Structure 1
Amino acid sequence: MFSKRDLIGVCGVIALTAAACTPTVRLEVAPIQIYAKLDADVRVRLDRELQDLLVENPNLF
């Protein structure tokens, strides 16, 4: 049949073959360009809402 040496050799070949076939996963993310022109508009809206809230509730602070 097979000797212990042959069995170890076959196991070694199987281990090397399995190690050589490990899959590689790569994740690539394309750069995203965001144009943030919202700052001034958002601030104006919040300022107006805050002023309206203070007019409606003068004892808020």
Structure 2
Amino acid sequence: MEEAEADGATVTVQRVHKAGHHVRPAGEEVAAGEEVARAGDTVTPPLLGLLATLGVERV
């Protein structure tokens, strides 16, 4: 079931969500100080995604 209707340039939301719905809390992926990769590790797609999630810009 759709939860919104579009009419030209207007979108009407049919259902109200609670604040924070579908928002993950900070630290859910890894704990502060937890090692996620070591020098020499192969950067695989899952590791690259995790590094991006953590805001790592250079490896």
Bin for the TM-score computed over the shorter chain: under 0.3
TM-score (norm 1): 0.25
TM-score (norm 2): 0.25
Which structure shows the higher strand fraction? 2
Bigger-Rg structure (1/2): 1
